[in-house]
Amino acid sequence: AQSVTQLGSHVSVSEGALVLLRCNYSSSVPPYLFWYVQYPNQGLQLLLKYTSAATLVKGINGFEAEFKKSETSFHLTKPSAHMSDAAEYFCAVRSQGNLIFGKGTKLSVKP
Amino acid sequence: DAGVTQSPTHLIKTRGQQVTLRCSPKSGHDTVSWYQQALGQGPQFIFQYYEEEERQRGNFPDRFSGHQFPNYSSELNVNALLLGDSALYLCASSLHDLYEQYFGPGTRLTVT
Protein backbone atom coordinates (compact mmCIF):
# COMPACT_ATOMS: atom_id res chain seq x y z
CA ALA A 1 0.00 0.00 0.00
CA GLN A 2 1.14 3.51 -0.71
CA SER A 3 1.52 6.13 1.99
CA VAL A 4 3.24 9.38 2.84
CA THR A 5 4.68 10.57 6.13
CA GLN A 6 5.26 14.23 6.86
CA LEU A 7 7.85 14.82 9.54
CA GLY A 8 6.93 17.68 11.82
CA SER A 9 3.37 18.84 12.27
CA HIS A 10 4.53 22.40 12.82
CA VAL A 11 7.53 24.27 11.40
CA SER A 12 8.40 27.84 12.30
CA VAL A 13 10.89 29.97 10.35
CA SER A 14 11.86 33.62 10.24
CA GLU A 15 11.03 35.74 7.23
CA GLY A 16 13.84 35.38 4.69
CA ALA A 17 15.01 32.03 6.08
CA LEU A 18 15.08 28.72 4.27
CA VAL A 19 11.89 26.68 4.31
CA LEU A 20 12.25 22.88 4.47
CA LEU A 21 9.19 20.67 4.82
CA ARG A 22 9.82 16.94 4.90
CA CYS A 23 7.91 14.16 3.18
CA ASN A 24 8.75 10.49 2.90
CA TYR A 25 6.74 8.09 0.82
CA SER A 26 6.13 4.39 0.61
CA SER A 27 5.22 2.93 -2.74
CA SER A 28 5.62 -0.40 -4.47
CA VAL A 29 5.55 1.28 -7.88
CA PRO A 30 7.20 4.44 -9.22
CA PRO A 31 5.22 7.13 -7.44
CA TYR A 32 3.53 10.27 -8.59
CA LEU A 33 3.98 12.79 -5.80
CA PHE A 34 2.41 16.15 -5.07
CA TRP A 35 2.62 19.06 -2.70
CA TYR A 36 -0.50 21.07 -1.95
CA VAL A 37 -0.93 24.21 0.15
CA GLN A 38 -4.02 25.09 2.16
CA TYR A 39 -4.65 28.59 3.47
CA PRO A 40 -7.07 29.02 6.38
CA ASN A 41 -10.66 28.22 5.48
CA GLN A 42 -9.77 27.41 1.89
CA GLY A 43 -9.37 24.37 -0.33
CA LEU A 44 -6.10 22.88 -1.54
CA GLN A 45 -3.90 24.51 -4.16
CA LEU A 46 -1.40 22.47 -6.13
CA LEU A 47 2.17 23.69 -5.56
CA LEU A 48 4.05 21.16 -7.66
CA LYS A 49 4.06 17.58 -8.87
CA TYR A 50 6.55 14.81 -9.65
CA THR A 51 5.58 12.45 -12.46
CA SER A 52 8.83 10.56 -13.12
CA ALA A 53 10.44 13.21 -15.30
CA ALA A 54 13.03 15.55 -13.78
CA THR A 55 13.85 14.76 -10.16
CA LEU A 56 14.02 18.46 -9.23
CA VAL A 57 10.58 19.93 -9.62
CA LYS A 58 9.85 23.65 -9.58
CA GLY A 59 6.47 24.88 -8.51
CA ILE A 60 4.61 28.07 -7.89
CA ASN A 61 5.53 30.81 -5.42
CA GLY A 62 9.24 29.91 -5.51
CA PHE A 63 8.84 26.41 -4.07
CA GLU A 64 10.66 23.37 -5.35
CA ALA A 65 11.01 19.73 -4.36
CA GLU A 66 13.54 17.04 -5.09
CA PHE A 67 12.60 13.40 -5.61
CA LYS A 68 15.20 11.08 -4.05
CA LYS A 69 14.43 7.45 -4.70
CA SER A 70 17.28 6.18 -2.51
CA GLU A 71 15.85 8.07 0.45
CA THR A 72 12.16 7.67 -0.54
CA SER A 73 11.83 11.39 0.04
CA PHE A 74 10.19 14.35 -1.64
CA HIS A 75 11.04 17.32 0.56
CA LEU A 76 9.68 20.79 -0.20
CA THR A 77 11.99 23.80 -0.05
CA LYS A 78 11.96 27.53 -0.60
CA PRO A 79 15.15 29.60 -0.29
CA SER A 80 13.57 32.60 1.40
CA ALA A 81 10.34 32.51 3.39
CA HIS A 82 7.74 35.22 3.01
CA MET A 83 4.98 36.07 5.44
CA SER A 84 2.44 35.01 2.82
CA ASP A 85 3.85 31.44 2.91
CA ALA A 86 2.21 30.83 6.29
CA ALA A 87 -0.22 28.00 5.63
CA GLU A 88 -0.62 24.24 5.93
CA TYR A 89 1.24 22.07 3.47
CA PHE A 90 0.26 18.56 2.44
CA CYS A 91 2.32 15.94 0.67
CA ALA A 92 0.36 13.35 -1.33
CA VAL A 93 0.99 10.24 -3.39
CA ARG A 94 -1.20 9.11 -6.26
CA SER A 95 -2.85 5.76 -5.67
CA GLN A 96 -5.00 4.17 -8.36
CA GLY A 97 -6.03 7.55 -9.67
CA ASN A 98 -6.61 9.18 -6.31
CA LEU A 99 -4.55 10.83 -3.66
CA ILE A 100 -3.30 9.66 -0.29
CA PHE A 101 -2.34 12.61 1.87
CA GLY A 102 0.00 13.06 4.75
CA LYS A 103 -1.24 14.67 7.96
CA GLY A 104 0.11 18.05 6.96
CA THR A 105 2.73 20.49 8.22
CA LYS A 106 1.70 23.90 9.44
CA LEU A 107 4.26 26.55 8.47
CA SER A 108 4.54 29.69 10.57
CA VAL A 109 6.66 32.64 9.41
CA LYS A 110 7.95 35.08 11.99
CA PRO A 111 8.69 38.70 11.04
CA ASP B 1 -12.10 29.86 -16.66
CA ALA B 2 -14.09 28.85 -13.60
CA GLY B 3 -12.37 26.53 -11.22
CA VAL B 4 -14.03 23.90 -9.06
CA THR B 5 -17.03 25.27 -7.20
CA GLN B 6 -18.84 23.81 -4.21
CA SER B 7 -22.07 24.62 -2.43
CA PRO B 8 -23.01 25.39 0.19
CA THR B 9 -20.02 26.94 1.93
CA HIS B 10 -21.18 26.05 5.41
CA LEU B 11 -23.86 23.74 6.74
CA ILE B 12 -25.13 22.86 10.19
CA LYS B 13 -27.13 19.68 10.66
CA THR B 14 -28.44 17.59 13.54
CA ARG B 15 -27.48 13.98 14.24
CA GLY B 16 -29.59 11.55 12.24
CA GLN B 17 -30.35 14.01 9.47
CA GLN B 18 -29.32 13.71 5.84
CA VAL B 19 -27.22 16.18 3.85
CA THR B 20 -26.42 16.80 0.18
CA LEU B 21 -23.31 18.65 -0.96
CA ARG B 22 -22.75 19.82 -4.51
CA CYS B 23 -19.74 20.23 -6.77
CA SER B 24 -19.14 21.62 -10.25
CA PRO B 25 -15.85 20.56 -11.81
CA LYS B 26 -13.32 22.74 -13.54
CA SER B 27 -14.18 23.41 -17.17
CA GLY B 28 -13.02 20.52 -19.35
CA HIS B 29 -12.77 18.01 -16.51
CA ASP B 30 -14.87 14.86 -16.44
CA THR B 31 -13.86 13.15 -13.20
CA VAL B 32 -14.87 14.18 -9.70
CA SER B 33 -13.42 12.91 -6.43
CA TRP B 34 -14.65 13.64 -2.93
CA TYR B 35 -12.51 13.90 0.19
CA GLN B 36 -13.26 14.36 3.88
CA GLN B 37 -10.87 16.50 5.91
CA ALA B 38 -11.35 16.28 9.65
CA LEU B 39 -9.95 19.07 11.79
CA GLY B 40 -6.17 18.88 11.96
CA GLN B 41 -5.93 16.00 9.50
CA GLY B 42 -5.13 15.48 5.85
CA PRO B 43 -7.93 14.84 3.39
CA GLN B 44 -9.21 11.26 3.11
CA PHE B 45 -10.59 9.86 -0.13
CA ILE B 46 -14.31 9.04 -0.11
CA PHE B 47 -15.07 8.10 -3.72
CA GLN B 48 -14.58 9.04 -7.34
CA TYR B 49 -17.08 9.43 -10.18
CA TYR B 50 -16.41 9.10 -13.88
CA GLU B 51 -18.98 8.73 -16.67
CA GLU B 52 -21.75 8.95 -14.06
CA GLU B 53 -20.52 5.87 -12.23
CA GLU B 54 -18.70 5.37 -8.97
CA ARG B 55 -15.30 4.15 -10.08
CA GLN B 56 -13.42 3.92 -6.81
CA ARG B 57 -14.32 4.07 -3.17
CA GLY B 58 -12.34 4.66 -0.03
CA ASN B 59 -12.96 3.26 3.42
CA PHE B 60 -16.26 4.98 4.11
CA PRO B 61 -19.59 3.39 5.08
CA ASP B 62 -22.58 3.09 2.80
CA ARG B 63 -24.11 6.13 4.50
CA PHE B 64 -21.91 8.06 2.11
CA SER B 65 -23.22 7.97 -1.44
CA GLY B 66 -22.89 10.09 -4.51
CA HIS B 67 -23.99 10.86 -7.97
CA GLN B 68 -22.57 12.37 -11.12
CA PHE B 69 -24.73 14.13 -13.67
CA PRO B 70 -24.31 14.25 -17.46
CA ASN B 71 -22.74 17.72 -17.17
CA TYR B 72 -20.07 16.14 -14.88
CA SER B 73 -21.27 17.93 -11.75
CA SER B 74 -21.58 15.76 -8.69
CA GLU B 75 -23.38 15.38 -5.37
CA LEU B 76 -22.27 13.82 -2.13
CA ASN B 77 -25.02 12.52 0.14
CA VAL B 78 -24.57 11.51 3.75
CA ASN B 79 -27.40 9.77 5.60
CA ALA B 80 -27.93 9.29 9.32
CA LEU B 81 -25.39 11.93 10.25
CA LEU B 82 -23.06 11.31 13.16
CA LEU B 83 -21.12 13.85 15.19
CA GLY B 84 -17.97 12.37 13.65
CA ASP B 85 -19.10 13.40 10.18
CA SER B 86 -18.29 17.01 11.06
CA ALA B 87 -15.51 17.98 8.67
CA LEU B 88 -14.52 19.95 5.60
CA TYR B 89 -15.71 18.13 2.49
CA LEU B 90 -13.54 18.76 -0.53
CA CYS B 91 -14.37 18.11 -4.13
CA ALA B 92 -11.61 17.68 -6.68
CA SER B 93 -11.83 17.41 -10.43
CA SER B 94 -9.49 16.08 -13.08
CA LEU B 95 -9.38 15.03 -16.70
CA HIS B 96 -9.96 11.27 -16.49
CA ASP B 97 -7.63 10.30 -13.64
CA LEU B 98 -4.62 12.06 -15.05
CA TYR B 99 -2.08 13.49 -12.69
CA GLU B 100 -3.47 16.67 -11.20
CA GLN B 101 -6.59 17.05 -9.19
CA TYR B 102 -7.90 20.56 -8.71
CA PHE B 103 -9.73 21.23 -5.48
CA GLY B 104 -12.70 23.39 -4.66
CA PRO B 105 -12.94 25.57 -1.56
CA GLY B 106 -14.85 22.91 0.36
CA THR B 107 -18.07 22.70 2.35
CA ARG B 108 -17.75 22.92 6.12
CA LEU B 109 -20.29 20.52 7.68
CA THR B 110 -21.04 20.74 11.37
CA VAL B 111 -23.18 18.06 12.98
CA THR B 112 -24.68 18.90 16.37
Nearest to A50 by CA among A68, A67, A28: A67
DSSP B3-70: --EEE-SEEEE-TT--EEEEEEPPTT--EEEEEEE-TTS--EEEEEEETTEEEEE-S--TTEEEEE-T
pLDDT digits (tens, 9 = 90+) for B35-76: 999 998 999 999 999 999 999 999 999 999 999 999 999 999
Q: Please check the confidence at residue B97 and state whether its pLDDT lies above 80.
A: no
Per-residue pLDDT tens listing for chain A (111 residues): 789 999 999 999 999 999 999 999 998 788 899 999 999 888 899 999 998 778 899 999 999 999 999 999 999 999 999 999 999 999 999 888 789 999 999 999 999
B42, B106, B108: residue with CB nearest A90: B42
| Residues on chain B touching A96 (C-beta within 8 angstroms) | 56
- CA of B80 vs chain A CAs: smallest distance (Å): 26
pLDDT digits (tens, 9 = 90+) for B65-92: 999 999 999 999 999 999 999 999 999 9
Q: What is the pLDDT of residue A65?
A: 97
Please state, in angstroms and rounded to a whole number, the distance separating the CA atoms of residues B39 and B88. 8
Q: Please check the confidence at residue B99 and state whether its pLDDT lies above 80.
A: no
Q: What is the pLDDT of residue A52?
A: 78
Q: What is the pLDDT of residue B35?
A: 97
Q: What is the pLDDT of residue A27?
A: 84
A94, A98, A103: residue with CB nearest B56: A98
Q: Which residues of A touch B (CB under 8 A)?
A: 32, 34, 36, 41-46, 49, 51, 90, 92, 94, 96-104
| Residues on chain A touching B55 (C-beta within 8 angstroms) | 97
